[in-house]
Amino acid sequence: MSSAMPVITTQNAGENLWFGGGLLTFKVTSEQSGGELCVFEHAASRGKRTPLHLHADSDETFYLFEGEVLLHIDGVEHTAVPGTIVSIPRGIPHAFLVISELARSLWFVTPGQPMEAFYRQAGDAAASRTLPRAEIDIERLRAVGEGTGAMKLLGPPPFPAAVLAQEDRAGLK
């Protein structure tokens, strides 16, 4: 018998976590879903980016509500705009960069563990629903990714030098 339980999370409810330069708000935890999935809202400002990485045992899918995101998936760049849904199967190298003032999306990660453990260990409890500075601590992500087995870091953010230089000049390292 499944240990999943019914979950209803209203628009501004959920546990908040500052993670990698963005704000995660858990809507359904892996515990609530019996380990099947983790659902969270993600909000981030311009310059939020991830290193090139993959998840060996989890699939990620997100729906972009607001903003614009540059994606690097398996060596190909794509631009996501509002209404775009992105599904990245396990084992596929990927990264993303927020290129609008704000990007808001809803993420579904299956299965829910160990990715939720990764987010929690690599993030910090958010005292408010404010956005943190768009910074990443690659060494912390690498260590937690290796420790949980949730993420394998493959390299720095793979975006064009011109895009990264523009973000760095704006103080968004």
Question: pLDDT by residue (tens digit) across 95-112?
Answer: 999 999 999 999 999 999
Instruction: Supply the pTM of this predicted model.
Output: 0.90
Read off the pLDDT of residues 35-93 as tens digits, 9 standing for 90 and up. 999 999 999 999 999 999 999 999 999 999 999 999 999 999 999 999 999 999 999 99
| SS3 (DSSP) at 163 | helix
- Asked if residues 114 and 11 have their Cβ atoms less than 8 Å apart, the reply is no
Neighbours of 83 (CB within 10 A): 8
**Predicted pLDDT of residue 172:** 43
Read off the pLDDT of residues 119-152 as tens digits, 9 standing for 90 and up. 999 999 998 999 998 888 999 999 999 999 999 9
Please tell me the class of the 15-169 domain: mainly beta
**Nearest to 29, CA basis, from 3, 61, 65:** 3
Which residues fall within 8 angstroms of residue 163, CB to CB, at 6 or more apart?
70, 97, 99
**Predicted pLDDT of residue 160:** 78
| Domain parsing of the chain, residue ranges | 15-169
